[in-house]
């Protein structure tokens, strides 16, 4: 399901994540940076915002595919996070 952001753009991806133990602010920033770096390494231009323990990815320069969803989950898993990814069109 696509979600409207406050800027009027469509949110393409919502990534909920959690880590064993308590999440700290640095955990949220680290996960946000990891997701942004993943997209930038694949030549996407995106905006990644944090809303609590949910990352909202919007303003993608092109539509991410199934391999991107798996790639995001793998990047977060490498850092010890378990991701729940919802994406819309």
Q: What is the mean pLDDT of each run of 10 residues along the chain (89 residues)?
A: 40 61 72 89 87 78 83 84 70
CB atoms within 10 A of CB 47: 15
**Residue ranges of domains in the chain:** 3-87
Calculated CA dihedral for residues 30, 65, 78, 19, nearest 10 degrees: 60
CA 27 to chain centre: 13
Distance in angstroms (rounded) separating the CA atoms of residues 68 and 44: 11
Q: What's the topology of domain 3-87?
A: Alpha-Beta Plaits (3.30.70)
Residue 37: its pLDDT value, please?
92
Angle between helices 25-41 and 66-78 (to 10 degrees): 140
């Amino acid at each position: 399901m696509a979600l409207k952001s406050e800027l009027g753009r469509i949110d393409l991806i919502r990534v909920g994540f959690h880590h064993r133990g308590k999440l700290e602010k640095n955990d949220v920033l680290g996960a946000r940076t990891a997701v942004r770096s993943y997209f930038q390494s694949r030549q996407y231009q995106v905006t990644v915002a944090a809303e609590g323990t949910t990352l909202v990815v919007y303003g993608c320069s092109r539509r991410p595919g199934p391999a991107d969803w798996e790639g995001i989950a793998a990047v977060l898993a490498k850092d010890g996070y378990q991701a729940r990814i919802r994406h819309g069109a």
